[in-house]
Structure 1
Amino acid sequence: MELKNPMLVVTDLEKSKAFYREVLGLRVVLDFGANVTLTGGLCLQTRESWMEFLHKEKQEIRFGGCDGEIYLETEDLDAFLEKLPAFCVELVHPPYTHRWGQRVVRLFDPDRHILEVGESMKTVVRRFLEEGMRPEEIAVRMDVPESYVHRMLK
């Protein structure tokens, strides 16, 4: 068994493609009309075609359930945060720092799917190193093996 792609059902495919392109910088790499694959492997499927796949005419599809998320990383969270106001994006919560030191923000896409955007773990390790922490201290701070810290520094 091999996991291939996560897929989100969307109400307006063109609006969602624009959101993922403009806000997150993802591009369409495959376009099958009612289904597209974006860079990174995320797929978007129209609600109508999804209903056909389920063989249901009136199957209820719920949006905004806050029961999962798509996780993305960036090397420059501050630059990402600076551009968000121009897109009038609704945040799930303001940016904050996880206990292991990673800075993140969660936001809603047009169909209220939750997206978490966090700084890459390499960025977290480098920041701690720049703050004067030694690799063994970083490992303790992040609650990861020291070998992980060394891998992030390569």
Structure 2
Amino acid sequence: MKFICPLIVVRDVGVSRAFYEGVLGQSVGHDLGENVAFEGGFAIHLRSHFASLICVDEGDITVRSKNAELYFEEDDLDAFLERLNHTGSIEYVHGLVEQPWGQRAVRLYDPDGHIVEVGEPMENVARRFLASGLSIEETARRTLMPEEFVRQCI
């Protein structure tokens, strides 16, 4: 058995596709109309069609369940945040936070209320800590990453 991808259900494929392409910079791998697969490894599926596929009423599909998220990493998190500031229709779960392990991240809702997290890669976190004067050992403890990982980030 082979896992293929997570699939999220959306009310309007066009609106969601525009969000993932325009706001998050994702590229479409396949567009089958009611189902769009992105090269990043996830897909969106039209809510009404999905409901019929799984034999439930469309109203039975929970919106904003807050039980999962799509996770992305962005090398230039500051530039991404600036771009978000110029996108008027973004609703945030929370603004920029620094996680206990030092990674900076923001969480927002997509047009259908799915949670999207965008964080900086852990390599960038390690480099930021090293540049601030922390040793390899201190950086490893602070980021919860192995010392070998931190060394590879130099």
Normalised TM-score (structure 2) = 0.93
Q: 1:31 Cα deviation (Å)? A: 1.0
Distance 1:114 1:58 in 2: 20
Q: Which runs of 5+ in 1 are unaligned?
A: none
- Secondary structure at 2:106 match in 1: strand
What is residue 108 of structure 1 aligned with on the other side? 109
RMSD: 1.4
- Secondary structure at 2:26 match in 1: coil
Residues paired across the two proteins, number: 153
What is residue 56 of structure 1 aligned with on the other side? 56
- Secondary structure at 1:55 match in 2: coil
What is residue 138 of structure 1 aligned with on the other side? 139
What is residue 65 of structure 2 aligned with on the other side? 65
What is residue 41 of structure 1 aligned with on the other side? 41
Q: What is the percentage of aligned positions where both structures have the same residue?
A: 42
What is residue 76 of structure 2 aligned with on the other side? 76
Closer, same or farther in 2 for the Cα pair 1:27/1:58, shift >3 Å? closer
Q: Which runs of 5+ in 2 are unaligned?
A: none
Query: Once the two structures are superposed, what CA deviation does each residue of 1:24-67 show, in whole Å capped at 9, x if it has no partner?
Result: 00011111111111121110000122112102345511111111
Distance 1:64 1:150 in 2: 40
Normalised TM-score (structure 1) = 0.93
**4+ aligned runs moved over 4 Å, structure 1:** none
What is residue 90 of structure 1 aligned with on the other side? 91
Distance 1:58 1:80 in 2: 34
- Whichever residue aligns with residue 32 of structure 2, its letter is F
Q: 1:142 Cα deviation (Å)? A: 1.1
- Whichever residue aligns with residue 128 of structure 1, its letter is F
What is residue 124 of structure 2 aligned with on the other side? 123
